[in-house]
Amino acid sequence: MPEDPAPRVPSGSGPSGSAGRGSDLAREALAAARASNAARRKAAGRTPRTGSGSAGNLRRRRWSGSGPDAARDPQPLGLTMRSWVKAAGTGADLTKATLFGRWEKIVGDEVAQRCSPTSLVDGELVVQAESTAWATQIRMLAPQLLVKINAELGPRTVIRIRAKGPAGPSWRFGERHVRGRGPRDTYG
């Protein structure tokens, strides 16, 4: 039940006999303000708040037990780093750097000497081969290479391998060029 908003001053308790001590006046003013605030909340249809030190408030609060319960508990460093990398958005760059750095170990010496990875975008790995024969060989070895790469880096890191052979010479020089089939009499 709310108290009346006017603070009560006990008579004869102060040095002059008419006012209370400063701390008593402050307590009474605070109680009056809380009571008027609770009355306004009740009139607006909101439930009044319980005090922060009340027993009801302590019963509602969930305290941590002996087992793992939330992100508040200490976490292993590896889990923390994985969540940080995921939140920072650098996971793709880290995966790409790991694949390119350990390419020879993952695919083997013979394949690594004949081709090298050039890009990894959205799960598609582009491999540049030294010859068209090795590009064809990489296309045939793609399922086995996918298994090796995903076993090393994590499932579904690489979804598809695209092998490219050596690029032919380009006859385009400069920024401007004319569309068409190009020169015909160059090779005889």
- Give residue limits of the domains in the chain: 110-168
pLDDT in tens, 51-62: 555 555 555 556
Query: Which residue type occupies 112?
Result: A
* pLDDT number for residue 14: 46
Among candidates 146, 96, 89, 135, which has minimal Cα distance to 119?
A: 96
Longest dimension (CA), the chain: 124
pLDDT in tens, 61-101: 566 666 666 666 778 898 888 888 778 877 778 888 999 99
